[in-house]
Homo-oligomer: A and B are copies of this chain.
Amino acid sequence: MTTNDIASLMDHTRLGDRRALAKVISVLENINTSAGDRDYIIDKLFAKDTNARFIGISGTPGVGKSTLIQAYGKFLVEKGRKVAVLAVDPSSPVGGGSILGDKTRMAEIAVHENVFVRPSPSMGFLGGLTAQTYLTQLLCAYAGYEHILVETVGVGQSEVEAAEIVDLFIVLCLPNSGDELQGIKKGILEIADIVAINKADGELLSAAERAKMELENAFQITRSMGVKEKDFITLSAAKNKGIDKLHETIESRYHARAGDLKSKRLNQKKAWFRKELESRLMKILRQKKSYQKFMQTPIADVSKTQTIQSFVDQYAKKLINSDS
């Protein structure tokens, strides 16, 4: 793709052309994209700050994330806002594509002209996925989307990384309680900014309120340990209840913490850039013949004559000019 094509695509993206936006995302996702094209896009994305909201929505499968995104997306669109939904699917390791089909489940809002929906293939590399989603977020903002909702699935490290690239991290859970809070992991609870208990309607209403109280109490115990401030709310995504309260909670966070947000975004930018530099350098290293030879030495050959570390040291010495 010539730089002219990219420039034109970026112009169309900035003017709100959804097809151009989708194409630029594909260009960034494509590992064969030239460094020049990437640089051009990245330069545009980092040229000025954005007021868009980057909201992460997490929770284990079946907790109602898609329903919530659908409900909140609709709420925002009815207020005249432009909404982008990035679904970070756990990808099929065999097929390589997005299997859950959030795009289909998003059908109701996806057809609206002010809505852009994009499921992300994971490409089998988690760190890369988060870095990629970070750029996709910025691109959506560049295209004029004001609320970028990033749906993540799973527990553990992927969630921690996802939480780092968004402004606010919402964790959705079910109105259960007890020793093992079904549908929520404590590690995830800790990184949440907003904890939303779903299905707070009908016969589960009182259970949801009770779960909210229990979580608030648990939070009081852990807050002295340096756990970050969080809000607890109940809602019913399916019944469209509590969506206004969710919006209020999100917006008040933005208004109360504009300074925090600015420094958080600066840190995100720095962290992304460091990752980008290291991965580009690794790409160059991995292409060197001597590097390939180094990596393909069988462990038996190494341990027969020397320790693994002296083997690595020797290669490192060969690789690196003597800078102190």
Give me the interface of A with B, judged by CB distance under 8 Å.
35-36, 38-39, 42-43, 46, 60-62, 90-95, 99-100, 122, 124-126, 129, 153-158, 160, 180, 182-183, 185-188, 190-191, 225-227, 269-270, 273-274, 276-278, 280-281, 284-285, 288-290, 294-300, 303, 307-309, 311-313, 315-316, 318-321, 323-324
How far, in whole Å, are A126 and B225 apart by their CA atoms in the complex? 24
How far, in whole Å, are A43 and B309 apart by their CA atoms in the complex? 12
Known: A190-B92, A309-B36. A126 touches B321 (CB 8 A): no
Q: How far is the CB of A160 from chain B (nearest CB, A)?
A: 5
Q: Are B313 and A61 in contact (CB under 8 A)?
A: no
Q: Are B122 and A308 in contact (CB under 8 A)?
A: no
How far, in whole Å, are A270 and B94 apart by their CA atoms in the complex? 21
Can you list 12 A-B pairs, Cβ within 8 angstroms, ordered by A?
A43-B303, A61-B155, A61-B183, A90-B157, A90-B187, A92-B190, A93-B190, A94-B227, A124-B157, A153-B156, A154-B154, A284-B316
Q: Are B95 and A225 in contact (CB under 8 A)?
A: yes
Known: A36-B309, A320-B319, A321-B318. A274 touches B303 (CB 8 A): no
What residues of chain B lie closer than 8 Å to A278, measured between beta carbons? 295
Q: How far is the CB of A178 from chain B (nearest CB, A)?
A: 11
Q: Which 6 A-B pairs have the closest CB atoms?
A: A35-B309, A90-B156, A92-B187, A39-B307, A126-B157, A290-B323
Q: How far is the CB of A56 from chain B (nearest CB, A)?
A: 14
Q: How far is the CB of A163 from chain B (nearest CB, A)?
A: 8
Q: Are A156 and B307 in contact (CB under 8 A)?
A: no
What residues of chain B lie closer than 8 Å to A158, measured between beta carbons? 126, 154, 156-158
What residues of chain B lie closer than 8 Å to A290, measured between beta carbons? 323
What residues of chain B lie closer than 8 Å to A295, measured between beta carbons? 274, 277-278
What residues of chain B lie closer than 8 Å to A191, measured between beta carbons? 93-94
Known: A187-B99, A312-B280. A155 touches B39 (CB 8 A): no
